[in-house]
Amino acid sequence: MNRPANLDVLLQPRPPSPLQEIHDERFERHGVRLLLKRDDLIHSTIPWDTDLFGPVDLYPPGNKWRKLAPNLRAALAAGHGRLATFGGAYSNHLRATAAAGRLLGLETVGLVRGDELADRPLNDSLARCAADGMRLCFVTRAEYRRKAEPEVLARLLAAAGAPDAYVVPEGGSNALALTGCAELGRELRGLCDVAAVACGTGGTLAGLAAGLAPGQSALGVPVLAGGFLGAEIRSLQAAAFGGPVGSWTLAEGYDHGGYARVPRPLEAFAADFEARHGVPVERIYVAKLLWALEALTATGAFSPGTTVTAVVTGRPY
C-alpha cells in the first residue's frame, strides 16, 4: 500500500459537504427554515483514486472523519506506525479508526469495553473493525472506566502489545479533533443562524461552535442523559483553543431514555422523516437531533425568520 499517496488523498482539502434545504410544513409554519448539512456524504466528496486503492467504503463517514484526520496527520508526522483507541461494541469511532488504518497502512488496536465480549462471536460492527485489520482487545468495565489514568492506560497498552501506539481517546474527541470539527463550522459561516448537532462526547459541538462566525450559534442535543456534557465541552475547548470559543447551548431532555435507545415513537418519527424527505436518518444520533429540532420549533424556541442547520453526522449502519 502506498502510504504517502493515501495520506495525500485523505488529508487534502475537501470541498464542503453538501447543504440541502428541506421543505417541511412543521418547520415552515413557524417561519423556520431547515437546512441539512450532509456530513453523511463526506465520503462521496473525497476523491478516492480507486485504481490505486481499490473500492473504498468509508463507513462511517461524517464527523468521525473530521475528528480523525488531524490525529492521523499528527500520528504519521511523529512517526507512529500504530494507533490505539477505545470504544464500545457498537462504536462508530472504532470503525472509522480501523478503516483509516487500513487506508493509511497503520496498524490499529481497538480497546473494547467489556471483557465478557471476548468469548462471544463478534457483532457486525466489531467484525467490520477486524476485517479492516484492527486488533481487538477486550477490557473489563472497571479498567475501561479508569482508562484516562496514566498508569491504567500504560498497563492496557502494554497488555495489548502496543506500548508505543499513538492513542486517540474514546469517541475520537481530543484537542486535534476539535480543530477538524471547527472546519465544519467554517463551512457554515454566513449560511444559517443556528447550527445544531447531536452530541455524544460533545467534541463535534465544541469544534463546530469554534468555527462559526460571530452572530451564529451552535446547539447541541445530548443523546445520553447525565448533565456532564457542558463541563466536558468547556474542558475540550480549553485544551484545543486555550479557553471558550464561540456560542453554544445544549437542549437537554431529548435522549429518549439513553444511549442507543430508540423507542417506538422515535423510530416512527425517523421513518416518517425518511419517507417524506428521502434522507436516510441514522437512529442513535441524527433521529434524536431532528426530533428535538421539530419539538423546539413547535414550542417557539426559534423566532420566525431563523435558519436552522441540522448536521447529519452519519448514516444508518
In this complex, which beta carbon is closest to ligand PLP, that of residue 17 or of residue 313?
313
> Which candidate, 207, 218, 206, places its Cα nearest to that of 179?
207
CB of 2 to ligand PLP, least distance (A): 29
Characterize 158-174 residue by residue with b for buried, 16 or more Cβ atoms within 10 angstroms of its Cβ, and e for exposed: eebebeebbbbbbbbbb
Residue 204 in the binding site for ligand PLP (CB under 6 A): yes
Selected range binding ligand PLP among 79-87, 130-138, 198-206, 245-253, rule: CB under 6 A: 198-206
Considering only residues 33-92, where is the footprint of ligand PLP by CB under 6 A?
Answer: 62-64, 92
Which x/- pattern, by CB under 6 A, does the window 250-289 give for ligand PLP?
--------------------------------x--x----
Which x/- pattern, by CB under 6 A, does the window 208-247 give for ligand PLP?
----------------------------------------
d(CA 169, CA 67): 11
Residue 201 in the binding site for ligand PLP (CB under 6 A): yes
Those residues whose C-beta lies under 8 Å from the C-beta of residue 96, and which sit 6 or more positions away, are 60, 64, 65, 68, 172
Q: Which residue is nearest to ligand PLP (CB)?
A: 314
Residues 6, 17, 85, 173: which binds ligand PLP (CB under 6 A)?
173
In this complex, which beta carbon is closest to ligand PLP, that of residue 75 or of residue 96?
96
Residues 202, 237, 254, 256: which binds ligand PLP (CB under 6 A)?
202
How many residues sit close enough to ligand PLP to count as binding (CB under 6 A)?
A: 17
Selected range binding ligand PLP among 103-111, 125-133, 193-201, 254-262, rule: CB under 6 A: 193-201
Considering only residues 110-139, where is the footprint of ligand PLP by CB under 6 A?
Answer: none
Tell me the one-letter amino acid at 288.
K
Binding site for ligand PLP (CB under 6 A): 62-64, 92, 171, 173, 198-204, 282, 285, 313-314
